[in-house]
A = this chain, B = another copy of it.
Amino acid sequence: MPGSTIGQLFRLTSFGESHGAAIGGVVDGCPAGLELDLVSVQGELDRRRPGSTPLGTTRNEADRVEWLSGLYATPVPAFAGMTTRSDITLGTPIGFLIRNTDAKSSDYDALKDVYRPGHADRSWEQKFGLRDHRGGGRSSARTTAACVVGGAIARQLLAGAGVRVNAYVSRVGEVHVLRDPRELDLNATWASDVRCPDTEAAALMRRLIEQVRAEGDSIGGMVRCVVQGLPAGLGDPVFDKLDADLAKAMLSINASKGFQIGSGFAAAMMRGSAHNDGYWIGSAGEVDTRTNHSGGTLGGISTGGEIYFDVAFKPPATIAQAQHTVNTEGKEVVLEARGRHDPCVVPRAVPIVEAMACLVLADHWLRQRVARV
């Protein structure tokens, strides 16, 4: 049944397989009158692209967004060096697509009759009774490109309300960021090829990824996401808690295995007297806390404080080492993988985590408009 839509008021419906004609989506519910910077949307997509860092796969797709509907181009006076194209949202669904230009299905012919360990090949076949063996089909991380476009639109809606969403790689294997997150310059993330703003940690991560690649292996990691400027009151008390919707969004990203907000799993080892974030009156008369174990939500509703959460990613399933598996005829075989793949997905997961967060936050930001008479 339908499972390709996320959001209630700000809603993305995505479509597309990795090796079909195109992937894309429809953003329905974006309010009318939003001035949308399409160059910036493309910029976000570029960050997700395979090949955007020297560490990723060598598959190279242009990944140009083609806008189909929902926008009204405003006549903008031309300046030398103009780098923006400003469009106005009509309030109607924004359809878009991204062509699959670099799909080499033949790369996957060898995989037609074998189940790859750690991949969705077998579960997919058991679900649908058939399998599109060309790449991961709809299980491919390529589908996240549509999320990035939808999230980039959501981000521009949120920006008008002063909301900022920044993610970064906080761990690759044994290497993790040791510095206090508040000391990090979140704007430095994109300058780092491993998408980590802590330069010492970044250097270690890069070295580890290169080593793992040399071994024909892959490695897992973590992404932290920080949300600043979010108003209080977002999220619903019971099922559609803000953190519950964030958890769903994060677990819907390929290769993610866990989500935690605020103190997260560490909370299981804490006392209430240490965990509760006491209230104080700040210097400007505002109510404030000195700790943020809640991670910015209480009872599933945003507090107005900083939101932060972590997402764990498993190591990519495709490796260059031989693996034990079975084929579709029920024989045990040894799989020698080929093709183009990342030894570590977390650098490329950063824009996706941000995008999914933006989708959830924009949805709840609109939802809050109908919370009171």
Which residue of B is nearest A290, CB measured?
B324
Docked complex: A248-291 residues within 8 A CB-CB of B = 248-252, 254, 257-265, 267-273, 275-281, 285, 287, 289
Interface locus among A29-37, A56-64, A77-85, A188-196: A29-37
The residues of B that contact A23 with a CB separation of less than 8 Å are 68-69
The oligomer's copy count stands at: 4
Interface locus among A38-46, A47-55, A177-185, A307-315: A307-315
| Given A22-B68, A92-B237, A370-B9, CB of A316 within 8 Å of CB of B120 | no
| Residues A126 and B263 in contact, CB atoms below 8 Å apart | no
The residues of B that contact A171 with a CB separation of less than 8 Å are 268-269
Q: Indicate whether A350 reaches chain B with its CB closer than 8 angstroms.
A: no
The residues of B that contact A3 with a CB separation of less than 8 Å are 28, 236-240, 367
The distance in angstroms between the C-alpha atoms of A251 and B312, with both chains bound, is: 16
The distance in angstroms between the C-alpha atoms of A137 and B32, with both chains bound, is: 13
The residues of B that contact A14 with a CB separation of less than 8 Å are 93, 238-239
Which residue of B is nearest A317, CB measured?
B276
Q: Indicate whether A293 reaches chain B with its CB closer than 8 angstroms.
A: yes
Give the 4 A-B CB pairs with smallest separation, nearest first.
A120-B299, A3-B236, A258-B260, A218-B272
**Distance (Å) between the CB of A361 and the closest chain B CB?**
14
Which residue of B is nearest A114, CB measured?
B279
Q: Indicate whether A302 reaches chain B with its CB closer than 8 angstroms.
A: yes
**Distance (Å) between the CB of A260 and the closest chain B CB?**
3
| Residues A257 and B248 in contact, CB atoms below 8 Å apart | no
The residues of B that contact A330 with a CB separation of less than 8 Å are 281, 285, 287
The residues of B that contact A287 with a CB separation of less than 8 Å are 115, 122, 326, 330
The residues of B that contact A9 with a CB separation of less than 8 Å are 1-2, 370
Known: A32-B127, A139-B300, A257-B264; 16 extra A-B contacts, CB below 8 A, are: A4-B238, A13-B13, A14-B238, A15-B26, A32-B129, A118-B298, A122-B232, A123-B297, A123-B298, A123-B302, A127-B232, A244-B251, A251-B261, A258-B259, A275-B315, A293-B314
| Residues A15 and B94 in contact, CB atoms below 8 Å apart | yes
Q: Indicate whether A166 reaches chain B with its CB closer than 8 angstroms.
A: no
Please list 13 pairs of residues, one from A and one from B, whose beta carbons are closer than 8 Å in the complex, sorted by A's number.
A1-B29, A1-B370, A3-B236, A15-B92, A16-B69, A72-B130, A118-B294, A124-B301, A239-B248, A257-B261, A265-B310, A270-B315, A275-B314
| Given A13-B5, A13-B93, A220-B269, CB of A21 within 8 Å of CB of B69 | yes
The distance in angstroms between the C-alpha atoms of A263 and B117, with both chains bound, is: 15
Proximity bits, A140-164, B CB within 8 Å = 1, else 0: 0001000000000000010010000
Proximity bits, A96-138, B CB within 8 Å = 1, else 0: 0100000000000000000101111111101111101000111
**Distance (Å) between the CB of A1 and the closest chain B CB?**
5
| Residues B239 and A272 in contact, CB atoms below 8 Å apart | no
